[in-house]
C-alpha cells in the first residue's frame, strides 16, 4: 500500500531527490529551470532555496517514507501580486496512482488559506495529458491555449493555462 504526504524538504532528501528527479521523462514536461541531468549540486541548491520562504511554498511529496516528488506555489509580483503559479512533479515509478490529484487538492487549499491570492494557475504543455487530467480532476478550469508558445527539446508545443479562482 502507498502512503504519501506533503512536508518541507530537508537536506536528508538529497539522495532520493537526485534519484527521482534525474529523469528525462520528467524534465521534458517542465521548464528549463528544472535541470537535466539533475545533479547533487542542483538538489542541494533547490532544497536550500525551498527552505527560505515562510510560510513554506515548496513541499516534498513523501511516498512510503521517501521524498519522491515536489509541489510548490510561486507567488507573482507587481500587478500580478494576487496570482500564484502552481508547479509539480512526481517520480515516474509512482505515476497513475492518484497521488498528484491528492497533492494538488491539498496544495490548492493551502495556497488559498495561507496566501493573499485570488488566482492559482498552472501551465501544462499541450503534450502533457497526465497533468491536464490532474488539473481537470481537481477543479481547475481551462482558460487558454497559447499556440506555439513553447520550444522544448527541439519541439514546438502549445501551452495551456488552467486556473482556480478564489470565490
Ligand atoms: C503529470 C503528473 C504530475 C501526474 O501525476 P500522477 O500522480 O501520475 O497523476 P494521477 O495519478 O493523480 O492521475 C490523474 C489522472 O491523470 C491520468 N494520467 C496520469 N498520467 C497520465 C498520462 N501520462 N497520460 C494520460 N493520463 C494520465 C490518470 O490516469 C488519472 O486519470 P483518471 O482520473 O481518469 O483516472 C506526473 O505524470 C509527472 O510528474 N509528470 C512529469 C512532470 C510534470 O508533467 N509536471 C507537471 C507540469 S505542468
Q: Which CATH architecture does the domain made up of 4-165 adopt?
A: 3-Layer(aba) Sandwich (3.40)
Closest ligand 1 atom to Cα of 29: 44
> How far apart, in whole angstroms, are the C-alpha atoms of residue 4 and residue 21?
17
Ligand 1: residue of 130, 132, 135, 158 to mutate (most ligand atoms within 8 A of CB) is 130
pTM: 0.97
> Hey, where are the domains in the chain?
4-165
Q: One digit per residue, pLDDT tens: the chain, 167 residues?
A: 899 999 999 999 999 999 999 999 999 999 999 999 999 999 999 999 999 999 999 999 999 999 999 999 999 999 999 999 999 999 999 999 999 999 999 999 999 999 999 999 999 999 999 999 999 999 999 999 999 999 999 999 999 999 999 98
Pocket (CB within 6 angstroms of ligand 1):
26, 29-30, 88-90, 95-101, 122, 124, 128-131, 133-134, 137
> How far apart, in whole angstroms, are the C-alpha atoms of residue 111 and residue 117?
8
pLDDT recorded at residue 64: 97
For 23, list phi and psi in degrees, rounded to 5: -150, 120
Closest ligand 1 atom to Cα of 89: 39
Tell me which residue has its CA closest to atom 12 in ligand 1: 98
Amino acid at each position: 500500500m502507498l502512503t504519501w504526504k506533503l512536508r518541507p524538504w530537508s537536506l536528508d532528501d538529497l539522495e532520493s531527490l537526485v534519484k527521482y528527479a534525474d529523469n528525462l521523462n520528467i524534465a521534458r514536461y517542465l521548464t528549463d529551470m528544472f535541470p537535466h541531468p539533475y545533479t547533487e549540486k542542483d538538489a542541494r541548491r533547490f532544497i536550500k532555496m525551498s527552505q527560505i520562504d515562510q510560510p513554506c511554498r515548496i513541499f516534498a511529496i513523501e511516498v512510503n517514507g521517501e521524498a519522491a516528488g515536489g509541489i510548490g506555489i510561486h507567488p507573482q509580483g507587481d500587478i500580478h501580486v494576487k496570482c500564484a503559479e502552481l508547479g509539480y512533479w512526481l517520480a515516474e515509478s509512482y505515476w497513475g496512482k492518484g497521488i498528484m490529484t491528492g497533492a494538488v487538492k491539498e496544495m490548492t487549499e493551502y495556497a488559498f488559506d495561507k496566501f493573499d491570492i485570488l488566482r492559482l494557475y498552472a501551465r501544462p504543455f499541450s503534450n502533457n495529458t497526465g497533468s491536464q487530467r490532474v488539473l481537470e480532476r481537481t477543479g481547475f478550469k481551462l482558460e487558454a491555449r497559447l499556440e506555439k508558445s513553447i520550444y522544448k527539446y527541439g519541439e514546438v508545443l502549445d501551452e495551456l493555462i488552467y486556473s482556480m479562482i478564489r470565490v
